[in-house]
Structure 1
Amino acid sequence: MTGQPSPAVVAAQQAQARLDECLGNSQNFRLEAGAGAGKTYSLVAALKKIIAESGPALIHAGQQVACITYTEVARQEIANEIEEHPAILVNTIHGFGWAFISRFQKTLRELVAAHEPYSEAIKAAGGIQDQQVDYNLGFFGIDEKRITLNHDDVPRFLAAMLANAKFKRILKSLYPVLFIDEYQDTDPLVMSALADHFFASGDGPITGLFGDHWQTIYRKDHALLDLPNVEGIDKGSNFRSVPVIVDVLNRLRPELVQEVNDVDGQGEARFFHTNLFAGARVDSRNGKQELPEDSHADSIERVRQTLQDEGWDFDPARTKILMLTHNAIAAERGYPNIARIFDRNEAFAKKEDAAIAFLADTVEPICAAYKAGNYGEMFRLMGGIPTIRKTADKAQWQADMDALIALRETGTIGELIDHLKGTRRPRLSDRVVHREDEIAKLGPEPTEDEPKSLKRYRELRNVPYRELIAVTDFINGFTPFATQHSVKGAEFENVLVILSGGWNHYNWPQFFELLTTGKITDKNTGGFHRCRNLFYVAVSRPKKRLAVLATQALSDAAMEAVTKLFGAQNVVDLPM
């Protein structure tokens, strides 16, 4: 009826009322919010309620609500929504953790000394005396005056301190309320410390967890964590997708049924398969019954052309093509050698490789800031403003950066890394330095028994740096293509999902079979949940139109699951 709130709004109001009740009763809670449910809206609404009711009292007492986010982008979004209110501290886990643990220098030195992987470096530096412990560059280092921490040290040492009664009291006195955004991706050491030392005893801050365990795609614990003294709240809303897409999500996840916002919204959700292909399929270690390479590319183009003829706009701003592996698009997007070197392993797309991560996350943003004349941001990314005493220092900085920019266009990855070894602008990450040291010890030519990862790194050094730029653009979403991993939290008008073989962590035919048979065992449970979560993340991105293409042969049991999810009328035999 006109004027009545939508089903999604009603469900959201019910969840928010339960959340407010938990806050009023000083009860820990977990808001489980599926894709499109408006998790951040609920979090911000709770913060605004606290500001309205307790903001002045918190400020007067010198206390804050701590809101820990997973990314800097999320931090900025939440901070803007609450207008940077002084009663709320919004920060990433690393920012929050360092702000807390940096107060306790003596304890930090003790924790560093007890961390076995640092023992050799500590010994070489003459031991730990009374050095200042800092964290601003993200790598471990030690000399007679200073100790710098690695990124992973911050959550590790924070978790260690939370086991200590003294630090528990201090944390609670400073932050009587603690919110954690994307709890399912929060460092497991920190989550375990909270569960063991705060939730179980009931004497920690009032803690609110916001997230969705079905959108865990990087960690191994896929089950809903059984946290003591934490009230579970399901938010059964979907403000993103039209009903036909939400229906697919609800069939996939009946334990968290979502209500739609626009009950009359029009759209589509279809599943294309290639079972009609009559030629010889390809079996490999990482994928069974896959289409040959030419047919694989042809199937994607056929689906894309069909959708385009029906009105899909494949402008990157409106449509994303989500792919599990990159070989089908690597040549088109300009990084065929990188895709070949990693042999269908997505370590480069997820930035698990040390060199890719350093170049994509450090070098490229620094170069972008330099080219834009944003020198403050450039120096921030490098770890701080350098000492420039004379004009010659400034000229050298400019010469080094100009040479770096030129190498991006004309040099290889190895040549650019060699340049950075000389200039240290920016300084190479510890992991890249370690790889370089390994190669220096073994010599310029690969040996028969050296690790595969090192052989891969040698090959990567010879790749034109332009391919790294293309990969970075791909990862950051500047093309119409993306991997399912890279779009968590994003939304698009239209989404085409490509399910293919090529990575042994994801077996799509088996996933659909298990949806039908339910025969999930200790052996296949990890693979099933990885597929389930990644599939859920992918198919929950679109607002209006969803299409899925499976390029591997699907059994009768797999097709039964597909038909149940999408409806028989929406399952399409792709002519091959």
Structure 2
Amino acid sequence: MTIEAAAVPNDELDRHVDEEIKHCLDPQAPRSFFLFAGAGSGKTRSLVGALDYLRDTAGARLRVRGQKVAVVTYTKAARDEIIRRTQFDPIIAVSTIHSFAWTLIEGFNHDIREWLRVSLKADIEDLQAKEAKGRAGTKASAERIADIASKTRRLARLDTTKTFVYSPDGDNRGRDSLNHAEVLHLAGDFLKSKPVLRHILRDGYPYILVDESQDTNRHIVEALFTFQAAHKDEVVVGLFGDMMQRIYGDGQPGLGENLPDDWATPTKRLNFRCPRRVIELINKIRESTDQQTQIPRSAAIDGHVRMFVLPSEGIDKVAAEKAICAHMAAITADQEWLDEDAVKVLILEHRMAALRMGFDDLLAALYPVTQFRTSLLDGALPAVNFFSNLILPLWDAKDDKFGTARIMRAASPLLSPSALKHAPDQFEQLARAQAAVDALIALLDGNPSVTFGEILHNVAKTGLFPIPDTLNVALAAAAAEAGDAEDEQERSDRDKAIAEFLAIPFLQVRAYAKYVSGKARFDTHQGVKGLEFPRVMVVMDDHEARGFLFKYEKLFGGGADDGQTASTRRLLYVTCSRAERSLALVAYAANPARIGDQLLTTGWLKPEEVSIGLP
């Protein structure tokens, strides 16, 4: 069906999809399913509709049996929205992926302990083998030795750790704490390897519905497939998603392909959000991937799409984008384009936002390390959170005695109940804590260019806050003598990235914190997935991004997708599909004319929609 074919009222076009999902939820014939739901298709509405159906038809049965419907979301915002739309019904257990994983393994303390014992021993043996082959006295050696010592201490504490704890929303700094990655890995491994855990999950949650399944951690997704295969006649696992909107790298590759034969695959075709012209564009963007296409509502407006290709250097980009907004206001007859707050500016790549906001060195140091990437963008990387969640708030509270005391009581070992209880003189202990605060504030106030590393050494000297393991390893390396090129090759990517990060000015953390909390003017695909805006400007700039994972120029050039091009295609799809009325695409290029020609060759845009230079 083409867009032109949608001439009669079609708002109920996908009603059969919701009916198919209801049939899958039949307790007499349960059937797991993967719902394909492209941008603006009403995925959340279908999810909530399925939950309402279960509340009406199975609510009484579930309550009698003490069972619940598990709903797994990717973000806290999505969790809260679904809880609200299901009227806070207690039989609907909505949680983020980390919370869900923790509910699976919490209390399995012996099994967690033994899993950690095996994991830590393997890590230590690997590090010892590398240390035996490496050279002593180098930074690489110091980092390995510190890492071995840290893991050995944790291994020794396992038998005295009776209960493991975890907070999905916290930094998990305690000695008995698990980190985010460990919880996901543990839950996946346990669910696949322990029949008793699968039975507990089956008996407690006969329905498990996963939102944004394309970005759900692969350990959990693989485990859910194992769980469903073992209990296919007793449970329903429902995956809601769209691989074209996959953002994170730790999801299950190829999800939705080669599904088990007993799974249903309902597909939504209608796009309720976008105007006709935007839907034509996003269909073109994705046509080389999975051939999925959408059609607009019969009442959808035509809308506007324009592409502006500008030189990447020698131009005032802020002024250029303001001029483009004025042009969009004229061609759309929508004066809201002149209001900065009424236009959603989306940056295709994080490095571009970081450069414009002033934390580009921080991102450049840490983002290339795969194990850091997701938690860095989620605002959950302990090495950075040490500064953004402790140091920065303490500095901001320097003139607020109560605020300072609140932070210190919550996080400083100098004012822990144990420290105060065992201190020979409590007043002296309080004075020591105040001196540590004063030393830090003096360092921050007196040196605007102070680095993360200088702050770290200050805190380590005073004992103001407990220091994350990765930063302790960096402290050990800093104490070692500078090495040569061979020494640098021996150092892990993680350790080199942390060392680079610590040499960066601390003030960049404020802009970073603003960005990951969603308070910046600029936003990216992560922050807006699932959201919609009347007026959208998408800004692309390979020069600002420094070729940082995404390559829009290569995408426009055609040809087969490699990893970078496929990522760029997905991100362009997500950002363009936020537009409800009009869309402006702004691309900065070394050769604007060539990019313009390539764009017309792709057939994505019409000649009158492409402007080379400012309008």
Aligned-partner residue type, residue 179 of structure 2:
N
Please give the residue correspondences for 1:290-369 in structure 2 after superposition, counting only pairs within 5 Å: 291-292=312-313, 294=315, 300=321, 303-304=324-325, 306-307=327-328, 311-313=335-337, 317-324=341-348, 333-335=357-359, 338=362, 352=376, 357-358=381-382, 361=385, 363-364=387-388
Aligned-partner residue type, residue 73 of structure 1:
A
Task: Report the counterpart of residue 276 of structure 2 in structure 1.
Answer: 243
Distance 1:28 1:574, change over 3 A: same
In the aligned structure 1, how far is the partner of 2:315 from the partner of 2:370?
Answer: 21
Counterpart secondary structure, 1:231: coil
Please give the residue correspondences for 1:399-414 in structure 2 after superposition, counting only pairs within 5 Å: 410=448, 411-414=450-453
Distance 1:335 1:567, change over 3 A: same
Please say if residues 139 and 429 of structure 1, whose CA atoms lie closer than 8 Å, have aligned partners that are also in contact. Answer: no
Please give the residue correspondences for 1:8-407 in structure 2 after superposition, counting only pairs within 5 Å: 9-24=11-26, 25-115=29-119, 116-117=122-123, 123-124=152-153, 125-126=155-156, 128-129=158-159, 131-136=161-166, 147-163=176-192, 164-199=194-229, 202=232, 205-219=235-249, 221=253, 224-228=256-260, 229-253=262-286, 255-261=291-297, 263-265=299-301, 267-274=303-310, 291-292=312-313, 294=315, 300=321, 303-304=324-325, 306-307=327-328, 311-313=335-337, 317-324=341-348, 333-335=357-359, 338=362, 352=376, 357-358=381-382, 361=385, 363-364=387-388, 387=417
Aligned-partner residue type, residue 245 of structure 1:
V
Deviation string, structure 1 residues 55-102 (Cα, Å, up to 9, x no partner) = 232122121111111122222222222233221211122212222212
Distance 1:227 1:325, change over 3 A: closer
Distance 1:183 1:423, change over 3 A: farther
Task: Report the counterpart of residue 586 of structure 2 in structure 1.
Answer: 549
Aligned-partner residue type, residue 156 of structure 1:
H
Task: Report the counterpart of residue 569 of structure 2 in structure 1.
Answer: 532
**Farther-moved stretch of structure 1 (465-474 vs 154-163):** 465-474
Please say if residues 351 and 548 of structure 2, whose CA atoms lie closer than 8 Å, have aligned partners that are also in contact. Answer: no
Task: Report the counterpart of residue 430 of structure 1 in structure 2.
Answer: 469
In the aligned structure 1, how far is the partner of 2:608 from the partner of 2:409?
Answer: 55
Structure 1 residue 134, shift from structure 2 partner? 1.2
Q: TM-score, normalised by structure 2?
A: 0.74
Structure 1 residue 470, shift from structure 2 partner? 1.6
Please say if residues 35 and 267 of structure 2, whose CA atoms lie closer than 8 Å, have aligned partners that are also in contact. Answer: yes
Please say if residues 69 and 90 of structure 1, whose CA atoms lie closer than 8 Å, have aligned partners that are also in contact. Answer: yes
Task: Report the counterpart of residue 468 of structure 1 in structure 2.
Answer: 509
**Farther-moved stretch of structure 1 (80-89 vs 372-381):** 372-381
Distance 1:295 1:136, change over 3 A: same
Distance 1:172 1:222, change over 3 A: closer
Aligned-partner residue type, residue 461 of structure 1:
L
Distance 1:346 1:126, change over 3 A: closer
Please say if residues 509 and 555 of structure 1, whose CA atoms lie closer than 8 Å, have aligned partners that are also in contact. Answer: yes
Task: Report the counterpart of residue 568 of structure 1 in structure 2.
Answer: 607
In the aligned structure 1, how far is the partner of 2:124 from the partner of 2:165?
Answer: 16
Counterpart secondary structure, 2:40: coil
Counterpart secondary structure, 2:476: helix
Aligned-partner residue type, residue 318 of structure 1:
A
Deviation string, structure 1 residues 252-282 (Cα, Å, up to 9, x no partner) = 34543334357253631112224xx6xxxxx
**Farther-moved stretch of structure 1 (79-88 vs 394-403):** 394-403
Counterpart secondary structure, 1:565: coil
For structure 2, the 5+ residue unaligned runs are: 1-6, 126-147
In the aligned structure 2, how far is the partner of 1:380 from the partner of 1:48?
Answer: 44
Aligned residue pairs, count: 544
Distance 1:85 1:570, change over 3 A: same
In the aligned structure 2, how far is the partner of 1:81 from the partner of 1:403?
Answer: 49
Structure 1 residue 117, shift from structure 2 partner? 2.5
Counterpart secondary structure, 2:381: helix
Task: Report the counterpart of residue 508 of structure 1 in structure 2.
Answer: 552
Distance 1:15 1:421, change over 3 A: farther
Structure 1 residue 381, shift from structure 2 partner? 9.0
In the aligned structure 1, how far is the partner of 2:571 from the partner of 2:504?
Answer: 30
Kindly indicate which of the two structures has a greater share of residues assigned to helix: 2
How much is the aligned-residue C-alpha RMSD, in angstroms? Answer: 4.4
In the aligned structure 1, how far is the partner of 2:505 from the partner of 2:173?
Answer: 31
In the aligned structure 1, how far is the partner of 2:8 from the partner of 2:412?
Answer: 48
Distance 1:353 1:203, change over 3 A: same
Q: Does 1:478 align with 2:519?
A: yes
Q: TM-score, normalised by structure 1?
A: 0.79
Counterpart secondary structure, 1:270: strand
Structure 1 residue 355, shift from structure 2 partner? 10
For structure 1, the 5+ residue unaligned runs are: 278-290
**Farther-moved stretch of structure 1 (155-164 vs 495-504):** 495-504
In the aligned structure 2, how far is the partner of 1:530 from the partner of 1:338?
Answer: 22
